[in-house]
Amino acid sequence: MTLKFYNTLTRKKQVFKPLKSKQVGIYSCGPTVYNYAHIGNLRTYIFNDLLKKSLEFLGYKVTHVMNITDVDDKTITASKKQGVSLKKFTREYEKIFFNDLKSLNIKKPTHIPRATESIKDMIKLIQVLLKKGYAYKSDDGIYFSIKKFKSYGKLAKLQKIKKSKSRIANDSYDKENAKDFALWKFHTQEDGDNFWKAGFGKGRPGWHIECSAMSMKKLGETFDIHTGASDLIFPHHTNEIAQSQAATGKQFVKYWLHAGFLTMKQGKMSKSLGNILRLKDLRQKGFSALDYRYLTLTTHYREQLRFSLENLNASKIALQRLKNIILTIKNDKKINNKYLAQFTEALKDDLNTPKALAILWKLVRDPDAEGKLKAIKKIDEIFSLDLLKNEKTKIPQKIKKLVDERERARKNKDWKTADSIREKINEFGFQVDDTGRGAKISKK
Ligand SMILES: [Zn+2]
């Protein structure tokens, strides 16, 4: 099978053809660092990581860019409330965010531009839009005229929505309000020290222009993949397309990939609904970040992930069981290409992780399969569940040797030797149990 992704732009699963063969550029909307990331936010970053690692697994060289939104309405308001500088305030949340990513085994993107360090690029882009007549100056800022951009709203399927004549200064607004949006907000008292000089008037950028400027700077005017949570389709991604394509006259992004929500009994997990859970909360309840990563793999990235502590507990048990079985598998130095091929096919089908996960389980449970361990190692390059690590029951080399010796004795029906080796193993603080799938070693 050829690699296929569901493209929000066309609402179809499409064959993936990068602009340059075997090289892929991906831009992911990063965090707005004004608060903690909740596990619903983190699901999108796990998806980004799976996407990138899958492409690398398939032989592509990936340049992955993820921005940090460290200036916008939310960050300014929240930093002022705490009475600290915007920089100090946002850097703290940025640090916590990257710690969360690390504990989820998420690889850092190739480039992580901060909005505050990319203001010049945003100003340049706004100047082009003004020059081309897509932007206009108002009393409180520079606005993008959605009427001027003919295909406005294609990504969000907004064609039938009446384009309002009014303007909106807020970065976030709902679907019923397709309005001219702010590219640049002129300085007000509320913004305090947070402004930059520009030819068209001092102020600060709107949220949407940030991503257009930072993505094109690093990946070029047209690039392969843009990702984000599905609630960003409108207005954020819709506005990114409008700004970028109006400025360059070229297609901005070829494939738009969106991750589904995480829902709780009370609905979507969101800060505004006040039903958020952080990784820290999960840890306090006895779950690891990787238990959560496992849970996310059980649902396709585009689907809603129904979260409950029961679901998470089932994932925790499944992951531990998986690791326990893997612990008993011996390295025969071979690699099982049959299962790896099936696993690869599942990934190529729009990253079908539930299917890929089922193939992993089939592999570990197949009594006749050879080359299991090396295949599992390859699979874990993508799943990143630390399947071959087992901190609590790390088995020293000398114990593994003894277990092998005992196995040989058992095969020769030399029960006396087998028993004496078992005693030796016990003396070292380990115990060996004979299961249908071979010897299982654990700490006593
Ligand atoms: Zn963005």
Q: Looking at residue 197, which CATH number applies to its domain? A: 3.40.50.620
Question: Nearest 5°: phi and psi at 318?
Answer: -60, -45
Helix (H) or strand (E) holding 141: strand 141-144
Q: Are residues 222 and 337 in the same domain?
A: no
Cis omega (within 30 of 0) on the bond before 18? no
User: How much distance in Å is there from the Cα of 394 to the middle of ligand 1?
Assistant: 42
Cα separation, 305 vs 41, in Å, equals: 12
Q: Are residues 127 and 210 in the same domain?
A: yes
User: How much distance in Å is there from the Cα of 189 to the middle of ligand 1?
Assistant: 26
8 Å CB contact between 41 and 288: no
Residue 434 in any domain: the answer is: yes
Residue 389 in any domain: the answer is: no
Task: Name the region of 116 (left: φ>0; alpha: ψ -120 to 50; beta: rest).
Answer: alpha
User: How much distance in Å is there from the Cα of 232 to the middle of ligand 1?
Assistant: 8
Helix (H) or strand (E) holding 436: none
User: How much distance in Å is there from the Cα of 67 to the middle of ligand 1?
Assistant: 7
3-state secondary structure of 229: strand
Q: Are residues 252 and 268 in the same domain?
A: no
User: How much distance in Å is there from the Cα of 240 to the middle of ligand 1?
Assistant: 8
Cα separation, 371 vs 369, in Å, equals: 7
Q: Are residues 219 and 137 in the same domain?
A: yes
User: How much distance in Å is there from the Cα of 346 to the middle of ligand 1?
Assistant: 29
User: How much distance in Å is there from the Cα of 111 to the middle of ligand 1?
Assistant: 14
Residue 143 in any domain: the answer is: yes
Cα separation, 140 vs 117, in Å, equals: 23
Q: Are residues 25 and 151 in the same domain?
A: yes
Residue 369's closest CA among 410, 325, 408?
325
**What is the number of helices (H) and of strands (E) in the chain?**
14, 16
User: How much distance in Å is there from the Cα of 35 to the middle of ligand 1?
Assistant: 17
Residue 260's closest CA among 37, 11, 8, 44?
44
Question: Which residues face 196 on adjacent strands?
Answer: 203
Regarding beta strands 180-186 and 167-168, do their DSSP bridges make them parallel or antiparallel, or are they unpaired? parallel
User: How much distance in Å is there from the Cα of 31 to the middle of ligand 1?
Assistant: 9
89-127 core/surface letters (b: 16 or more CB in 10 A; e: else): bbeebbebbeebbebbbbeebeeebbbbebbebbbebbb
Model pTM? 0.86
Residue 392 in any domain: the answer is: no
User: How much distance in Å is there from the Cα of 211 to the middle of ligand 1?
Assistant: 5
User: How much distance in Å is there from the Cα of 52 to the middle of ligand 1?
Assistant: 18
Q: Are residues 89 and 128 in the same domain?
A: yes
Q: Are residues 158 and 124 in the same domain?
A: yes
pLDDT of residue 163: 62
Residue 313 in any domain: the answer is: yes
Helix (H) or strand (E) holding 62: strand 61-66
8 Å CB contact between 26 and 51: yes
H-only helix segments in 366-414: 372-383, 397-411
User: How much distance in Å is there from the Cα of 165 to the middle of ligand 1?
Assistant: 25
Q: Are residues 415 and 273 in the same domain?
A: no
Question: Nearest 5°: phi and psi at 250?
Answer: -120, 160
Domains contained in the chain, number: 3
User: How much distance in Å is there from the Cα of 175 to the middle of ligand 1?
Assistant: 17
Task: Among 383, 412, 431, identify where a domain stops.
Answer: 383
User: How much distance in Å is there from the Cα of 293 to the middle of ligand 1?
Assistant: 23
pLDDT in tens, the chain (444 residues): 899 999 999 999 999 999 999 999 999 999 999 999 999 999 999 999 999 999 999 999 999 999 999 999 999 999 999 999 999 999 999 999 999 999 999 999 999 999 999 999 999 999 999 999 999 999 999 999 999 998 898 898 875 556 666 788 877 766 556 789 999 999 999 999 999 999 999 999 999 999 999 999 999 999 999 999 999 999 999 999 999 999 999 999 999 999 999 998 878 888 777 789 999 999 999 999 999 999 999 999 999 999 999 999 999 999 999 999 999 999 999 999 999 999 999 999 999 999 999 999 999 999 999 999 999 999 999 999 999 986 655 678 888 899 989 989 998 999 999 989 988 887 777 778 777 767 877 765
Cα separation, 390 vs 130, in Å, equals: 58
Residue 19 in any domain: the answer is: yes
Q: Are residues 14 and 118 in the same domain?
A: yes
User: How much distance in Å is there from the Cα of 140 to the middle of ligand 1?
Assistant: 23
Cα separation, 331 vs 235, in Å, equals: 52
pLDDT of residue 444: 59
8 Å CB contact between 178 and 161: yes
* Structural domain range at position 415: 397-443
User: How much distance in Å is there from the Cα of 28 to the middle of ligand 1?
Assistant: 7
Task: Among 221, 240, 259, identify where a domain stops.
Answer: 259
Task: Among 357, 383, 409, identify where a domain stops.
Answer: 383
Residue 161 in any domain: the answer is: yes
Cα separation, 53 vs 293, in Å, equals: 14
User: How much distance in Å is there from the Cα of 235 to the middle of ligand 1?
Assistant: 10
Specify the residue for token string 């951009």. 149
User: How much distance in Å is there from the Cα of 281 to the middle of ligand 1?
Assistant: 27
